[in-house]
Amino acid sequence: MSPAGFKAGIPKNTVRDRFFLQTLHEAKQEFQNSEDIQKMMDILLLTAMGAIGVSEASAIMTAPESNREWTAGRGTENTNIQELRDHLSDIMKPADFEENSPLPVVICRIKKEEMLPDTDILIQWVIEDSYIGLAQFGEKILFSEYDNDDIDFLFDLFNIFAFSLHNIQFRSVIGNLNALLVKKTEELNLADRHADYSKKELDRRVFHLQSLYDLTQDMAACQENNQIREAFLMMTSGIFSAEKALVYMADAHDMNIYLSCRGVAREKIRQINPDELETLMKPLESSRSFHSKSKNAQIITDKNILKIAVSQFEPAVGLVFIIKESFVGLIALGEKITGKDYTDDDRELLLTLTNTFMVFMENVRSFEMIEKLNSDLEKQNTELNQTVKALTDNRHQIELLEKAKDRIRLFIHKEKEKSGRVSVADIMIILCFGTILGVIYNFSSPTGIGLIPQFLFQPPSPAISIGLAKLKYDEKKSLFVDARPSEFYNKKHIRNAVNLPLPLFDFVYMMKFATIDPETLIIVYGRNISRRYDEEAAIKLKARGHPNVRVMTDGLEGWRQKGFPVSDEN
């Protein structure tokens, strides 16, 4: 449809129509091959001017959303472009367009005197509110009027231009959507990779937890050191598919050796000497947390260190551990049956399993220590009961002897009353009988005196001078023992000295000396003219397993004369 205001019914020139059609076709091709809007504006204006024979023309187009602008002009001054720009908003009114127009371009004629001088044709176009444009064409070169063919040609040309711009916009939207789709696809692929990684990580942790649970279940049913060690080695070698495995543990104090192995003959495994054990512990000793925890374990990264300890097979991975600074151990695993290397996850799992194994081992050692303490306590209770029983029996015997003594005294008194004097024979009989009773009482009484001193059959105990004893006293690392009877001790003794009377030696020893370190220096004093309590006490202490016992020369009196500290009776 041609806009109103143009004459209809003009005969069409077939040659001219072909020219217009060919020009439109070429312009369409150029529009389609270009993405540059400015270049398309120049092509649009030159094609229109050349086809209809116009010497002056100008055009302007804007994009309201981006505030961009494109201009083109031929044979006109810049003032024409500025006039189009100034009147663009006034010209582009809804009333200027045909209602219900199916095309995005409307062509209309505007009188020269109304708006723009020197303008014969004014073309307006709108493309989906994205572009608005305005073009003006001056008089034709031949000074003829624009006919319907010219108007139809311009109408078609600008519509092709408008549709080309629409296609550019559509391709831009498609490109943006495609870029967005590519970006979303990459994000989806990244999310898939993260999901796969998360699934693998979850599977790995589930496997670790399941392995840890199975190991805990197996070791929980064990109550002995050897059983726990065997269960740990079997589970560990199974989890990692290790053909050969070894667990070596040693007590650093007494160097007791504990060994378990799989895939290796036990008799072919040599014992690690202390120097090699010290070499194995260096990784732990350099750790910052070595002294802050009762349990510690660390992977051995240097295989040469492993080869020093494990010469029976080629260890692929291993670690050392320590429990309470004395119980140390080594775990070594051979190559996997599958031939694969040990990963960081495998080492982490091995470390976790070993920590669990160490907890069970520590519990077993604590349980064994408790049993030993209970056994020692039971033994001490038995000895105490025996001592109490012996004291009770002795007390009964003493009571019987006291009664016998009273009867004898009564008998002698009666006999004395019967006879006014006593013969020498009677005196001898009484002395012999009294001596016999005294000997019997001495042997049966816990406070009795040995007829033959025990120290006569023993080498003399090492002596220590009072001066050296005072130095040991000041260091507070030795124990002073007063071997005299309690009544003498209570009157005067070296300050902080422990009373150990010989008649009650066993009873007092269990009460006060059973927990003393056997290596402690014990200084004994206490003797008088008739009895060497210190020598006899020293002999008994040595018999109880105390090698560092010394007898202080000059005894308590020498100590007191030196002005050294003593405690007097209150």
Confidence check: pLDDT of 353 > 70: yes
Q: Please state which CATH number belongs to domain 454-568.
A: 3.40.250.10
* 56: enclosing H helix or E strand: none
Which pLDDT value is given to residue 496? 92
Confidence check: pLDDT of 243 > 90: no
Which pLDDT value is given to residue 4? 38
If one compares 299 and 498, the residue with the highest pLDDT of the two is 498
Residues 6+ apart with CB under 8 A from 230: 260
Confidence check: pLDDT of 92 > 70: no
Mean pLDDT, residues 385-414: 79
- Give percent of the chain above pLDDT 90: 20
Span 93-105, pLDDT tens digits: 544 444 445 555 5
Sign of CA dihedral 262, 267, 273, 279: negative
Residues 242, 239: Cα–Cα separation, whole Å: 8
Span 199-229, pLDDT tens digits: 877 776 777 778 778 878 777 777 777 888 8
Q: What is the 3-state secondary structure (H, E, C) of 307-331?
A: HHHCCCCCCCEEEEEEECCCEEEEE
Which pLDDT value is given to residue 100? 47
- 290 contacts 320 by C-beta, under 8 angstroms: no
Pairing of strands 492-494, 549-552: unpaired
Mean pLDDT, residues 436-442: 69
> So where are the chain's domains?
14-175, 219-355, 374-444, 454-568
Confidence check: pLDDT of 6 > 50: no
Which pLDDT value is given to residue 479? 94
**What mean pLDDT, rounded, does the chain reach?**
79
Which pLDDT value is given to residue 471? 92
Which pLDDT value is given to residue 7? 37
* 196: enclosing H helix or E strand: helix 148-220
Two domains, one topology: 14-175 and 219-355: yes
Residues 166, 159: Cα–Cα separation, whole Å: 10
Which pLDDT value is given to residue 289? 46
Confidence check: pLDDT of 125 > 60: yes
- 494 contacts 480 by C-beta, under 8 angstroms: yes
Q: Whats the size of the chain, residue-wise?
A: 570
Which pLDDT value is given to residue 305? 64
Distances (CA, A) of 236 to 233, 318, 344, 360, 426: 5, 12, 16, 15, 93
Span 272-285, pLDDT tens digits: 665 666 666 665 55
Residues 6+ apart with CB under 8 A from 330: 246, 247, 248, 249, 272, 280, 309, 310, 318, 319, 320
Which pLDDT value is given to residue 347? 86
Which pLDDT value is given to residue 561? 92
* 245: enclosing H helix or E strand: strand 245-251
Confidence check: pLDDT of 111 > 60: no
If one compares 290 and 431, the residue with the highest pLDDT of the two is 431
Could you tell me which residues are beta bridge partners of residue 69?
Answer: 62
Span 442-485, pLDDT tens digits: 666 554 555 555 555 567 889 999 999 999 999 988 999 999 99
- Give percent of the chain above pLDDT 70: 78
Which pLDDT value is given to residue 38? 92
Q: Please state which CATH number belongs to domain 14-175.
A: 3.30.450.40
Which pLDDT value is given to residue 288? 45
Which pLDDT value is given to residue 494? 94
Mean pLDDT, residues 378-390: 83
Q: Indicate the class that CATH gives domain 219-355.
A: alpha beta
